[in-house]
Amino acid sequence: MAYAQPQPPLLVAAASDLSDIQTIINKGFTEQSGLGIRFTFGASGNLAQQIKSGAPYDLFLSADETRVKDTVLPDSVTVYAQGRIALWSKSGKFITLDSLMMPGVLHVAIANPEHAPYGAAAKQALERAGLWTKLAGKIVYGESVRQALEYAESGNADAVITAWSLVINRRGIVLPANLHDPIRQAGGVVRSSQRADAARALLRFLVSPAGRQILAKGGFDPAEVTRP
């Protein structure tokens, strides 16, 4: 008697701000579809470059719209959430951007704006608050929002401006949305994927009521979505 072979997990390149909800996304999608997910997290710009270089991902979940469009099937591009930035420190004493000007602050971590949409938003927020030129010499860059957070966790930075989704359950301080342009997070099926139907199914799950509930609890604002 022949038995059906289990299908391998979908290979998903995902922005680092999604890392804390990977387990619940995987669980919800597996219960619905029977398929598992294997995530690789990183800065969206770095992941886009990996895909352009031939990395065998099925789906790209970027933290912005611009990087995803060059690497995926055009008709699959889906805005699935809107992100927010937040301030976090191990000491808990930094509760506003202005508090970063307190005496004794040596380093403030953000993700590299060249590669990470959240880093670009953090820089923009500091600029709009009139603090960028004052703090520029104290900024340290992580390759992703996750790495930037690790600098603050380890004490190598006094504070970090990172993704709200990474500090929502850690007494992070979400920053006003008007300090930066909207972080519209988009995904799409990688052009070279041999599992386009399954990848589209995961996109549909993310914008379904169940997926949007997961994203909302994880610190993401709802976005006007398009469905693949």
Q: Residue 109: what pLDDT?
A: 98
**Domain identity same for 172 and 102:** yes
**Domain identity same for 161 and 103:** yes
What is the domain-level CATH number for residue 196?
3.40.190.10
**Domain identity same for 40 and 111:** no
The string over 3-19, giving b where at least 16 C-beta atoms fall within 10 Å of a residue's C-beta and e elsewhere, is eeeeeeebbbbbbbbbb
**Domain identity same for 79 and 91:** no
Q: Please give the tally of structural domains in the chain.
A: 2
**Domain identity same for 97 and 210:** no
Supply the range of the domain harboring residue 105.
85-179
Identify whether the C-beta of residue 124 lies closer than 8 Å to the C-beta of residue 179: yes
The span from the CA of 156 to the CA of 167, in Å, is 18
Specify if 135 maps to a domain. Answer: yes
**Domain identity same for 112 and 172:** yes
Per-residue pLDDT tens listing for the chain (228 residues): 444 457 889 999 999 999 999 999 999 999 999 999 999 999 999 999 999 999 999 999 999 998 898 899 999 999 999 999 999 999 999 999 999 999 999 999 999 999 999 999 999 999 999 999 999 999 999 999 999 999 999 999 999 999 999 999 999 999 999 999 999 999 999 999 999 999 999 999 999 999 999 999 999 987 765 554
**Domain identity same for 89 and 76:** no
Specify if 22 maps to a domain. Answer: yes
Specify if 222 maps to a domain. Answer: no
Specify if 5 maps to a domain. Answer: no
Q: Residue 225: what pLDDT?
A: 57
Half-sphere exposure of 116 (CA within 13 A, CB side): 29
Specify if 1 maps to a domain. Answer: no
Q: Residue 228: what pLDDT?
A: 47
Paired tokens of 35: 């398929």
**Domain identity same for 192 and 213:** yes
Specify if 225 maps to a domain. Answer: no
Beta strand segments in 96-224, E: 108-111, 139-142, 159-163, 173-174, 183-189
Specify if 227 maps to a domain. Answer: no
**Domain identity same for 69 and 125:** no
C-alpha distances (whole Å) from 186 to each of 44, 84, 95, 127, 217 are 10, 14, 30, 25, 18
**Domain identity same for 94 and 77:** no
**Domain identity same for 162 and 110:** yes
The span from the CA of 147 to the CA of 114, in Å, is 15
Q: Residue 3: what pLDDT?
A: 42
Specify if 3 maps to a domain. Answer: no
Q: Could you tell me the pTM of the whole model?
A: 0.92
**Domain identity same for 175 and 188:** no
Identify whether the C-beta of residue 161 lies closer than 8 Å to the C-beta of residue 105: no
